[in-house]
Structure formats: C-alpha cells, structure tokens
Amino acid sequence: MYAIDLFCGAGGFSEGILQSGFHIVFSSDRSPYVQQTYMNRHEQLGLIQGVNTHFELSDIRNLHGEFILEKINGLSHFKDLKIKFNPNDIDAIFGGPPCQGFSVAGKRDINDPRNMLFREYLRVVQYIRPKYIVMENVTGFMNMPINPNFESFHGHFYGENELVSNVLTVELSDFGYTVLPPRILDSSDYGVPQKRQRAIFLAYRNDVTPINYPTPTTPEAHQKLTVEDALAGISIGEVNSHYAEQSRQGRTPLFGTSTAVPNLNSSFNMEESKHSAVIVERFSLFKQGESVNNLKLRLRALKENGEVVIDSFDTSYPNLLQETVFNINKAHNLEVLTEQLGTMGINVGAKDVESLYKKIIKFWNYNINSPEFDKDVKKSLNDWISLDQFKQSMFTKENLNNQVSSNDLVQWFSTTEPLVITDLVGEQFELGNRTDMTWEELLNALLTNKNTRTRLDANKPGPTMVTLPDDFIHPTLNKILNVREMARIQSFDDSFEFLGKRTTGGTKRSEEVPQFTQVGNAVPPLLAAAVAREVALALNTVRV
C-alpha cells in the first residue's frame, strides 16, 4: 500500500500511516525545522531518501503532481522491482493544510492566505487521483466560510458565506470521488491520553471500495487513558500502564517488517526548562486540573468566606511574595524610577523604564557586592545603564515598594481579617472589601496576566497539547512539561526524537518550528493510525 504524506510536519500523521502498514513513498513540508526531525525519524525506520522514499522541502504552491510521480518513479526501490506509477496508481494521499486561519484559538480570518492552501492540496489530488483521500484539520474548518478568492476547478460559483467543508465536497465530487460527511474525532476515543479534537474528511474514488470512519476503541469514560497512564515511568512512578510500556516498546515498525523500534534505555527530549524560585512557588498554588481562572475563583471564594487564602504565605512563598509586592506597586515604582533616572541624566522612554523595572525585580535578592550580581546584572543592564550607576542608584527598599509591603500581603493572604492600606491615589480602603476590578488587580499581581496556564489532572485525559510549553503544569511536579512528556500525551513512541531548538519566542515564533511546536502541531499518531487503518481495510476488501 503506497501513500503520499503532504503538509507532513514533524511526522505525527506519518507515524499512524506507517503503523497501519503503508509505505510512504513521497512526503513534503515547507519548513526546514520539521524536515530535520521527519527525515531523521524515517531514516531510523529504514525509509531512506532516494532509495525507498522521497521528502521534498517545498511550499505546496510550487509542488506539482508530475514532479511527485517523477520522484517516486526515480526511487531505486521501485526501479529494482520494475514498478512504475502513473496517475490512479497511488493508494492514498494524506494531508493537513495549515489551519491558522480556521482555528478557533486564532483570529479565524476568512482572508488568511493560508486558508487557500487546501485548494493547492486539491490541485495535487486532481493530478495524482489516488484511490483514497484523507484530510485533517482543526474543528474550526467545519464552519469557516470560503476565502472570497477561491477559484473553483469546475467553474462553480460559491457565495461569500459558503462553508469550506461544502466546497471541498463539491470539488472532490467533480473529480470523481464520493465524499463522506466530515466528522470531528476526539483523540481520547482512540487510545490517546488527550481530548484533542480534529476534523477529518474521507473520500474514495468512485471505482474503489467505499471507506468508513473508524469506530472508537476507548469511547467510555472508564476506558479513556489518563495523563498518569501517559507519564508513567518517565515522571510519574514506575512503568505501570500498558500505554507507557507500548510507548517504550514502540508501535511504528521498521520498513518492510512488523518489528517496532523500541527505546528501553535512553530517553530523548527529556531536557527540563529552568524555573526560577518565583515560578516554582507560583506553580505550587495550583491544584490538579485547576486553570488560572479557576484558581482565582477559589482564592476569591476563600476570602469572601472568611477563610485563609494562602496559609503561611510568609514562610512558604518568600520569592512569590516579593514579586507580588513589586507587581502591585508597579505604577508607583515606575514613577520613582523615571524621576530618579532623570536626576542621573538618563532620559529614556517608558518601555526602557519598564524593562529596567523587570530586571530590578529579577535581581532584587542579589547581594550587590557578589560576583553573581556583577555577572548577571552587567550582562542584562550594561547596554544602557552602567553597573556602578545601578549599584549606587535609587533602587532601594526605601524608594520602592513603599505603598503595599510584604507584611501587608502576608496579613492579607494568611489571615481572615480585612486589611486597610493606602491605594495608588492616596485613599483608604479595606483590601477585603475591594471591588472586583481591585480583586483582579491583586490576583494578577500574584499570578501574572497569563490566563491560559493549567495544572494537568493525572486522573483524566490531558487537554489539547498546544505549542507553548508553559501552558501546562505537570500534575505532581512544580514544572512545565518537557518535550517527551508532551509527546507521550500525544501518543508518540519514545524512540521518536524531536530535533532542533526546544523552544523559541518573540518574532521568531512565526518562522521557526522548535520541538515544542513540532509536538503541539502534530496529529496524535494513534488517532492517525485509526483513520489510516480504515483506508487499509478498504484497500484490502474486494469491492462487491
């Protein structure tokens, strides 16, 4: 059974395709970052470039069916077997066009040019004419209107509110395919310890055996695999789940065999992120399954019920307490910094002042005469303020944080008595009776403004793994997940190694595809395998 894998990414769908007995003869993606991971994995599995498979680094807009068949027919494996592929000979094309314009997590921009890439997918299909077509996408694909610039292959006119899913059905039907009504499949129904949903489109050529959607293998709540099942043996206890053992033994076979590649002794992608004491203390506030918003609601309810919000705050959370004081005094402190920088003859904009303020928070506990202070502060500040200026300057406890003190917050969090302090405009109020906005200000000072963070619940399937690693806190440890832990929750084998940078940020995030993004963007291999097996079943069933 021969397959083409387009928009392959790092290889999540590819794993499922291979596990279902297919030979991937051609694959393509435009990112050199995923290419490294994808080709390394395939070489590990015995799929060798130019011999029995071909990977093309290319934007699909520059990829043509004639070229694809030329590369496949040029493989030495098929020359030796004296096999030549023509249109109609490929068994299946799998692909997931980039989905940012369709994602409910994004802006859902109807005019996003990436929304047009599914037309390029159809263009390749039109030439290759595989027996079966599989397309996956985010659930938002199901109800997204067509891009106004879409040009029909057969001259159809689509209204501005025509859904992409309907257009896909019409166009493929004109190609000579029967298109099944698209479905949203939940990964947790197919043995994946994660409730990740994907829109799946299946179509079959009118001269071949019809295909069906896969039947769930773990549909009931008691059958679903949990985060604890996924992480067993790497960060939660011993290997005590069948799923974890399968991950170690491997599911994806070597080329031409039924033998999987195990990873019993070494651990790929287990590097941990470095967390400051503040972050560790903040993570410790979360209970299992609790998001930032749920944590805020719990803390607010405790105070309103006259209970202790955070017990022993002064001894258990010293670094977090200090940062919270800085955050809640921010407006006042920025005024102090701006004024005193001016007295030193340093006139900078508001952004630079705020940047300096963040550095002061970071270095507050340093002994200014220590080698560590000189090393870290000089590295961070010396581009626009000298180390001597910083040391002799006004950044002292007498000048900063003189509105709300550490003792104030200890009293607020650790006792049930209302606390009277002076607010930013000099008026008196009771902290215990502040408005909702003031409550939010206080909790944001404690938790920051990041509202997407969640501590995973070890006893439930994980939520959808995303591309930002700090969205998830480990269920039992005060840290974010590492790449391997995310990969386990996605159902990758332990032998699958992600290459390249672990993570990136800022403007580079739109260009680079680091390891965390490779994992977060992938289709869970076990979900992909469930779909691909249905294609294999249809191929091996005689049409009646």
pLDDT in tens, 504-529: 876 676 678 999 999 999 999 999 99
In the predicted structure, residue 113 carries a pLDDT above the cut 70? no
One domain for residues 198 and 316: no
Please give the residue range of the domain that contains residue 422: 277-447
Average per-residue pLDDT in the chain? 85
- Among 273-287, 387-401, 464-478, 485-499, where is mean pLDDT lowest? 387-401
- What share of the chain in percent tops pLDDT 90? 54
Closest to 278 (Cα-Cα) out of 13, 73, 469, 478: 478
Same domain membership, residue 178 and residue 31: yes
CB atoms < 10 A from the CB of 186, how many? Answer: 18
pLDDT greater than 60 at residue 273: yes
Last residue within a domain, chosen from 447, 465, 497: 447
Strands 420-422, 428-430: pairing kind: antiparallel
Q: What is the pLDDT of residue 433?
A: 40
Residue 386, in any domain of the structure: yes
Residue 342 has pLDDT above 60, yes or no: yes
Both 184 and 315 in one domain: the answer is: no
Q: Provide mean pLDDT across the span 229-236.
A: 94
Given 447, 464, 479, the domain boundary residue is: 447
Token pair listed for 447 = 């938790």
Q: Which of 447, 482, 505 is the last residue of a domain?
A: 447
Encode 188-211: b = buried (16+ Cβ within 10 Å), e = exposed.
bbbbbbbebbbbbbbbbbeebbeb
Q: How many Å apart are CA 41 and CA 516, to the nearest integer? A: 17
Residue 104 has pLDDT above 50, yes or no: no
Count the alpha carbons within 13 Å of 541 in the hemisphere toward its beta carbon.
Answer: 13
Instruction: Say yes or no to pLDDT of 231 above 50.
Output: yes
Tell me which residue has tokens 């029995």. Answer: 52
Q: Is 200 found in the same domain as 340?
A: no
Q: Are strands 177-179 and 183-186 parallel, antiparallel or unpaired?
A: unpaired
The 10s digit of each residue's pLDDT in 300-340 is: 888 778 788 887 777 788 888 888 888 888 887 888 888 87
Rounded distance, CA 54 to CA 143, Å? 35
Tell which residue, 80, 83, 39, 69, has the closest CA to residue 57: 39
Do 429 and 420 form a contact (C-beta atoms < 8 A)? yes
Q: Which residue has the higher pLDDT, 401 or 77?
A: 77
Q: Is residue 453 part of a domain?
A: no
Average pLDDT over residues 135-146: 86
Q: Which pair of tokens denotes residue 352?
A: 């630079």
Residue 371's pLDDT band, with cuts at 50, 70 and 90, is: confident
